[in-house]
Structure 1
Amino acid sequence: MIKSAAPFRLDLTVWALRRRANNIVDRWDGKTYGRLLALDGQAVDVSVTQIGPPDDPELKIEAAYAGSLSLKPALVTIVEQMLGTGRNLSEFYVLASGDAQLAQLAARFRGLKPPRFPTLFEALVNGIACQQITLTLGILLLNKLASNYGMSVRKENTTLSAFPRPEDLAGLEPRDIRRLGLSNNKARAIIELARMMTDKCLVQEDLDALDDETVLARLCQLRGVGRWTAEYVMLRGLGRIHLFPGDDMGARRNLQLWLKLKEPMSYEDVRRILSRWEPYSGFLYFHLLLDRLMRDGIYDKK
């Protein structure tokens, strides 16, 4: 069992992480969150269930793997990062209480925590794969990467797939990934990234110590990474919840609909409008994502 900072709702947080019901990496059955993790060379099937109400939340973590080495400390760390359980968001709720529009949204999704991908590599590959296509198609491409190149196990007549590690992709050629449906540029970018991370040329801990502008500049030096992908990674991969990916057209539309604005917004418009809710612009991004999933009938309790 681990405690989460209250309030916490596993269902909301998992949906903000998985985004689509057909996501095979992040699984949700209405009660339990499941993910196959590649940890210390082992495929670990992790299940997380919430015990207790949002204001007194505990999480039950179960793990199945073949090895005898104890992975509990590492597992707890990863789960806490992915589900944001250590985030104290009391100041966000204070901010929301003084803003009628934000208060309504915050109340609707009370208990949401800002999720994170477990690795910088996964965040970057998600960002690259989902560029300039629909999120639904992006998730399908990521599913193919996982099922073809991630570690896997059989469970109840089903094959579970982990998201690929850098070492799973570093030895491939662009044509190997292109056959899954990714463009040549995306395939080259992903393989180059995998090789960089395998060679320790890009390390998350190095980025964690840097300010936003420096991280943005470094990420934009990578093949296939522009401002949108970099800000997306800084939010979903590095946990910088004050950042709203202003070039994300879907996120812009979500913001526009929520604010009932008639005219499309520029990147500068987004930053100006969101300044009133700093330093929680990125956390607002997740609220608006859930709002959109519900309006589109994608989110449900399963």
Structure 2
Amino acid sequence: MTFEFELTPRPPFRLDLTVWALRRQQGNRIDAWDGRRYARGVALGASVLRIAVEQGGVPAAPRLLVAVQGPEGRRDVAQELVSGLLRRALGLDIDLEGFYRFAASDAALAPLAARFRGMKPPRFPALFEALANAIACQQVSLASGIAMLGKLASALAPQTQCDAGVLAFPQPRAVLAAGPEFLRDLGWSRQKTDYLLAAAAAIENGALCDAQLAQTDDAQVLRLLSRLHGIKRWSAQYVALRGLGRLTVFPVDDVGAHKHLALWLGLPERLDAQSTQALMARWQPYAGMVYFHILLKRLKDAGHLDSQHACTGGA
């Protein structure tokens, strides 16, 4: 099965910036980016589809060209799955006009919002993937956490038949079936293994799901997530923002965010959770957008965004 279709994001939209906000590191093997095309695998039943996305048009009038490859099956089912995944992961339907009006009135945020105009707040395609990312990145460098996730996907998620370099994220049942010894052999610590298996079990048995979390406010979302084994404040806030799209949430215990927030604001000392929380009151209800913008600033300063061949004409 091979087919193409188009999606129309709500403008303005830039695929390059949005994908970098999603993938965070060059070493991300699940969310692949070659400077022009975003690719990943997505599970469809027992098979895997390869999706590749390119942007056409300008940010003010964007079009996304989506190519899908996979085993023979119903195109309508595959297209619906892929469309839903991309709309969630790339924030295609999110209206940010309110954010841009808000940012324009803030002396610090205005130039950053203008520089990265068109970045939509990304979300992990599934709640389990968000939880796994949070667990992998607890108390280790981001590069180490993303490397662990790549090993997990390579070992447990079937590769697409169309491209051996494209991975899908493993399903909770596959992680549960692998068991603790297998995960530890992949380099997951005993503690992280326990946390990951607990998260997989909660998703698989229905104790935690998107529909349940969508029906409650941010504070209750954080409480529900924190009931999971190994999910404390940083992980819960990370999942709320990156997995559930709660843009009022900023992971206040994020050490990297402390450093880059202080650099952006020209503060003489590194921030901590309490001072970061106090700062975020200034940018509500868009604290999560600040998080994504300082991430892109870090990537820009490191030279990762300079070589992108994005379609950047227009406003």
So what's the TM-score if we normalise by structure 2?
A: 0.92
CA distance in 2, matches of 1:263, 1:123: 31
Structure 2 counterpart SS, 1:62: strand
In 1, distance between residues paired with 2:112 and 2:202? Answer: 40
Q: Distance in 1 between matches of 2:127 and 2:202?
A: 12
Matches within 5 A, 1:162-241: 162-241=168-247
Q: Let me know the Cα RMSD of the aligned residues.
A: 1.3
Whole-Å Cα distance in 2 between the matches of residues 89 and 146 of structure 1? Answer: 33
**Corresponding residue of 1:53:** 58
Give 1:17's aligned residue. 22
Look up the match of 1:41: 46
Shift of 1:300: 4.5
Does residue 270 (structure 1) correspond to residue 276 (structure 2)? The answer is yes
- The residue type paired with residue 102 of structure 1 is L
Cα pair 2:69 2:162 within 8 Å, conserved: no
Match of 2:89 among 78, 82, 88: 82
The 1-side partners of 2:197 and 2:51 are apart by: 27
Displacement of 1:268 in angstroms is 2.3
The letter of the residue matching 1:278 is: Q
User: Against the structure 1 CA distance between its residues 269 and 84, is the aligned structure 2 distance closer, same or farther, given a 3 Å change threshold?
Assistant: same
Q: SS at 1:293's partner residue?
A: helix
**Alignment identity in percent?**
42
Letter in 2 for 1:37: V
Q: CA deviation at 1:18?
A: 0.7
Partner of 1:8: 13
- 1:193 deviates by 1.6
Q: Does 1:120 align with 2:141?
A: no
Query: How far is 1:67 from its partner?
Result: 2.9
Match of 1:108 in 2: 115
Q: Which consecutive residues of structure 1, in runs of 5 or more, have no partner in the other structure?
A: none
Residue 285 of structure 1 corresponds to 291
CA distance in 2, matches of 1:170, 1:251: 32
Conserved? CA contact 2:39–2:166, under 8 Å? no
| 1:95 and 2:95 aligned | no
Higher relative contact order (CA 8 A, sep 6+): 2
1:21 partner amino acid: Q
1:258 aligned partner, one-letter code: W
Deviation at 1:154, TM superposition (A): 4.1
Q: Gapped runs of 5+ residues in structure 2?
A: 1-5, 309-315
- C-alpha distance after superposition, 1:225-277 (max 9, x if no partner): 10000000000000011111001111111111111111222322112112121
Q: Which consecutive aligned stretches of 4+ in structure 1 deviate over 3 angstroms post-superposition? A: 297-302
Mean Cα deviation higher: 159-168 or 244-253:
159-168
How far off is 1:74 after superposition? 2.1
What amino acid is the match of 1:161? L
Q: Distance in 2 between matches of 1:84 and 1:173?
A: 34
CA distance in 1, matches of 2:280, 2:113: 15
Q: Which one-letter code corresponds to 2:30 in the other structure?
A: V
What amino acid does structure 2 have at the position aligned with 1:271?
A: Q
The Cα shift of 1:42 comes to 2.4
Give the whole-Å Cα distance in 2 for the aligned partners of 1:213 and 1:107.
31
CA apart distance, 1:90 = 0.5
Q: Are positions 1:145 and 2:155 aligned together?
A: no
TM-score by length of 1: 0.96
